[in-house]
Structure 1
Amino acid sequence: MRQLTVELWAAPIPILGRFADHHWIVIVSDRGINRWEVWQKQHVVDTSWGYLHRNLLPPKANVGYGPSRHVRTWVDGDARDIQHRVENSPTAYPWLNVYRFFPGPNSNTFVEWALGDVSRLTTRAPGAWYARFAGRQIR
């Protein structure tokens, strides 16, 4: 039995990479290894729901501007909380069919939403604050 882990990954955004990152979540469980993220194109793979995608890219792949980097890992309770939100996001994430690089919702909005009360993204994550700005409760 594989231990549940949830990993937060980031890579520099093209053009703005010195200042901004694209974030995604990788869930490692008995169901395999799955990368979850919002991307600027809809319905790219069979496991897409609007702009939300599961396994659009390999778990550690960058997004075209620089190397990806592991930011953090959660296990046990926090990992289960994040896993639950992420795996239910195809029916629960409020912006499945809306994408705007700025001010959001975007990839960082999704990750901030998925992390719930567990953690917050840094200032290198434009759009992470979008849900609060738009008056939506994400916690």
Structure 2
Amino acid sequence: MMKRLGLLLLASLVSACSSDGWRTASREPAGIAPSPEVQKDAVIEVYAADAYSWRGWFAVHTWIATKEQNADRYKVYEVVGWRLNRGLPALTEYQTPTPDRYWFGAKPEKLLSIQGEQAQTLIPQIAQAVNAYPWKNEYKVFPGPNSNTFPAWIGQQVPELGLKLPFSAIGSGYADNTP
């Protein structure tokens, strides 16, 4: 009886996560990032959102966005494991007017925001650290390197950011394993 109840519970939990949800999940802007049209100063922001599917019950996905002074777009840096399946690096960089998009249905939370002269000074250091990231072509959910290892490692290379990741940034501790 208990075994059957356990199987039913497991089946219901799995079915709650097994839809084609990632194809239709929201990737809309959350409206929490400064608009480049309004905010002309340089900006650095770090976001976290619940990881996709069942992983979101205990883990987040994190990413970094920078905007140079007077730029009309943000540069977003993040590590995405499924890119490796396509023969692409896990580390990706792209430009967007809205770096605060939902992470496949999960609303992001702003972990860090630096604006103005300090951001303008730190952006080249972030770019340099991104170029030196040692696990561009690797991804492991646990213990890392993964999407949380990346911003943790950037934070170590640019300590002036004062970046503090949440406990749910599983894999952030892997950044201590710099080769």
TM-score, length-scaled by structure 1:
0.78
Higher strand share: 1
State the partner residue of 1:86: 126
Q: How large is the RMSD of aligned CA atoms in angstroms?
A: 2.7
Q: Which segments of 5 or more consecutive residues in structure 2 lack a partner in the other structure?
A: 1-38
Summarize the alignment of residues 80-119 of structure 1 with structure 2, pairs less than 5 Å apart: 80-81=121-122, 83-89=123-129, 91-116=131-156, 117=159, 118-119=162-163
**Judging changes above 3 Å, is the alpha-carbon distance between structure 1 residues 54 and 42 closer, same or farther for their aligned structure 2 residues?**
same
3-state SS in 2 of match to 1:35? strand
Q: Once the two structures are aligned, what percentage of the paired residues are identical?
A: 26
Contact 1:17 1:65 in 2 (8 A): no
Contact 1:13 1:65 in 2 (8 A): no
**Judging changes above 3 Å, is the alpha-carbon distance between structure 1 residues 43 and 101 closer, same or farther for their aligned structure 2 residues?**
closer
Between the aligned partners of 2:144 and 2:95, the Cα distance in structure 1 is 20
Q: Could you tell me which of 41, 46, 52 is aligned with 1:3?
A: 41
Higher helix share: 2
**Is 1:22 paired with 2:61?**
yes
Moved over 4 A (4+): none
Q: Could you tell me which of 155, 164, 175 is aligned with 1:120?
A: 164
**Judging changes above 3 Å, is the alpha-carbon distance between structure 1 residues 56 and 3 closer, same or farther for their aligned structure 2 residues?**
closer
TM-score, length-scaled by structure 2:
0.62
Q: Which segments of 5 or more consecutive residues in structure 1 lack a partner in the other structure?
A: none
Q: In terms of Rg, which structure is larger? A: 2
